Amino acid sequence: MGKDGKLTFVQQISSGGVGPRNFNLTPDGKYVFVANQNSDNIVVFQRDKKTGALTNTGKMMQVGAPVCLVFY
């Protein structure tokens, strides 16, 4: 967020798959999980808490057509 209170662009990054359908932050805010429906995978990104920038961790899980990610 900028000093003016408006959202600011941080980056554009590949979802690591095809057809990103949903994403969610882990409860601690350290990671973002992205559900790619058409490539049947969930990809894990590390999140910089200060800047919001994402880095692909190289960790990926194969699942059948993920559509929603929820942490309890």
**pLDDT of 33-70, one tens digit each?**
999 999 999 999 999 999 999 999 999 999 999 999 99
For the chain, how many structural domains are there in total?
1
* pLDDT class of 1 with cuts at 50, 70, 90: confident
Residues in contact with 30: Cβ distance below 8 Å, sequence separation at least 6, in sequence order: 46, 47, 49
Domain that holds residue 28: 20-62
Asked if pLDDT for residue 15 goes beyond 90, the answer is yes
Residue 15 lies in a domain: no
- Indicate whether 58 belongs to any domain: yes
In a domain, 27, yes or no: yes
- The model carries a pTM of 0.90
The answer to whether residue 3 is domain-embedded is: no
Residue 2 has pLDDT above 90, yes or no: no
The Cα 24–Cα 56 span in angstroms is: 14
Handedness of CA 53, 8, 16, 61 (dihedral sign): positive
Element (H, E) at 20: strand 20-25
Does residue 13 form part of some domain?
A: no
Which of the 8 DSSP states describes residue 36?
Answer: E
CA–CA separation, 9 and 37 (whole Å): 25
Residue 48 lies in a domain: yes
Residue 8 lies in a domain: no
